[in-house]
Amino acid sequence: MPAPCRVVSCSAVVLAAACSSTKRDDMASLGATITATAGASTTETVTNGDSVDAGDSVDAGDSVDMHGTTHGDGSSGSMSTEAMESSTSDGSHIPKFDSPGEATTGDHGGPCGCGNSDWSYVWVANSAESTVSKINTRTLLEEGRYITRPDSQGNPSRTSVSVDGRAVVVANRHAGLVKIWAQEAFCDPDKNGTPGLQTSTGSANVLAWGEDDCVDWYLPFADMTVQRPVQWTSGTLNPATCRYEGQKIWTVTGNNHSPGNCGKGGVWVHLVDGDSGTIEDTVRVPDDRFCTPVLAVLAVGPYGGAVDFAGNFWFHALGEKVLARVDFATHAYELITGGGIGDLGGVGYGITVDTKSRVWFSGKLSRFDYATSTWDTADVTTFGGIAQGDGRMWAAGTNGVVWVDMETLAIGDTVPLGMGGQVKGVSVDIDGFVWAVIEGDSRAYKIDPVTYAVEYYEGLNGPYTYSDMTGGAISSVTCNPPTE
């Protein structure tokens, strides 16, 4: 498998902006003040009575989901002492951000911590070949690559990792949801009918569909033509077994008989059982704004999804100022319009929820407080994923990633990435490192949030991904519940 590559873009005591001649590309300069707006939002509430009836359901077939270094200017040098001390031998970062909640002792006699720290992977969709790569975030080695749809025509993009790190679900843009186990210990060695465990160990041996024992289940959504948003809920931690139980998956589909697109008639929100892969409920949202063509070309449908501490599901449209919230308990949905949804010509890209249950969007970076129905906007424009880490919101930019202070919205540094290009995927792993994937680039970048040292894995094929690809988002909101 390809070896990890490492490069340091900046020392620990020098701002990233001074380390490279790379401009911020339409981003405000360091220390710029914010543009904060607070305005009323319109909310439309729809009761669960409009959930789903026989005519709205998906057919029965669907129901059964980084000491020699190179600096950014090309010069060589040694990694600073501070940078070296910031990492341990296994690659984990000492100041773990968004630390887990109080441990519990179960009947088995051991402590139960929140989330998972025993292993850590970033799951990147290789859209060009309809596979997903499992990359160890501590060793920077690819440990598995898996087909995401039986016909290898799924065009996958969004990935979501469970709070315990045991599994990932991948949504294919041409529809279809697949669940893959993260560790061989969880896989069924008899699943494919051949004795012993057969599973991929990297990019060099992608097993044919149906042969990989670590692919747990596949949900086709045969009557749908597009599927992007996908996100696990945390489930409930059982202190006796130290296992999360009742984990569900939210996802959204649409249909217009054209792969990757949707049409009139709205969209369908599905709640899927994480264990069995069966659909527990389908809620139709009959609003055509979710399928409005972008630039009069593509009607790509709902673009991203995220969950808050309570498991409520949030998703948004690309090209329209509309946000949806689906209540976890009742499955009733609300449509929220106005404010900062999709700022910058109505095009909003990434979405995440922070530990205070506020919803964030990229595009014109915006934050929505559901409790107060108010919006705040930072004077920075991004076109990709966003993720919370150590009091910062990290966002995708052109040629790098930028962060803003989560409370003041003051703009911080831009960390340049050597290859350049539009960053799409941004995620923070459970050790606090920031991960970025550039559209079409063969690398997955790992960024130290303190020193801005950059490492990367090289070997991806046509990646296009942004979502909770490390599980950091669900772990963060689960292990750091909002306080009154």
Rounded Cα gap, residues 190 and 49, in angstroms: 43
**Is residue 257 in some structural domain?**
yes
- 189 is a domain residue: yes
Task: Tell whether 106 is covered by a domain.
Answer: no
Q: How many domains does the chain have?
A: 1
What pLDDT is attached to residue 93? 39
Residue 166 lies in a domain: yes
102 Cβ partners below 8 Å, 6+ apart? none
Find all residues with CB under 8 Å of 180, minimum gap 6, and list them. 132, 134, 144, 146, 167, 168, 169, 170, 214, 215, 216
Torsions phi, psi for 425 (to 5 deg): -85, 135
State how far the Cα of 443 lies from the Cα of 425, in Å rounded to an integer.
11
Report yes or no on 101 lying in a domain: no
Q: Which residue has the higher pLDDT, 333 or 6?
A: 333
Q: Is the pLDDT of residue 26 over 50?
A: no
Whole-angstrom Cα Rg for the chain? 21
Q: Is 104 inside a domain boundary?
A: no
Encode pLDDT of 127-166 as tens digits: 999 999 999 999 999 999 999 999 999 999 999 999 999 9
CATH number of the domain at 197, please. Answer: 2.130.10.10
Q: Is residue 105 part of a domain?
A: no
With beta carbons less than 8 A apart as the criterion, state whether 300 and 260 touch.
Answer: yes
Quick one: pLDDT at residue 462? 94
Domain housing 31:
5-93+112-479
- Name the band, by pLDDT with cuts 50, 70 and 90, for residue 110: low
* Helical (H) or strand (E) element with 474: helix 472-479
Give yes or no for residue 67 having a pLDDT over 50.
no
Q: Judge whether 421 and 436 are in contact, CB under 8 Å.
A: no
Neighbours of 45 (CB within 10 A): 11
Alpha carbons 98 and 100: distance in angstroms, whole number: 7
Mean pLDDT of the chain: 79
Q: What is the 3-state secondary structure (H, E, C) of 73-118?
A: CCCEECCCHHHHHCECCCCCECCCCCCCCCCEECCCCCEECCCCCC
- How far apart CA 343 and CA 326 sit, in angstroms, is 22
195 pLDDT higher than 50:
yes
Q: Which helix (H) or strand (E) holds 131?
A: strand 131-136
Measured between alpha carbons, how far is 378 from 370 in angstroms, rounded to an integer?
A: 18
pLDDT in tens, 279-324: 999 999 999 889 888 765 678 889 999 999 999 999 998 777 889 9
DSSP of 185-201, one letter per residue? Answer: GGS-TTTTSSSS-----
| pLDDT over threshold 80, residue 16 | no
Mean pLDDT within 2-25: 33
pLDDT 10s digits, 336-364: 987 655 554 444 688 999 999 999 988 88
* Residue 107, in any domain of the structure: no
Geometric angle at alpha carbon 386, from 264 and 474, rounded to 5°:
90
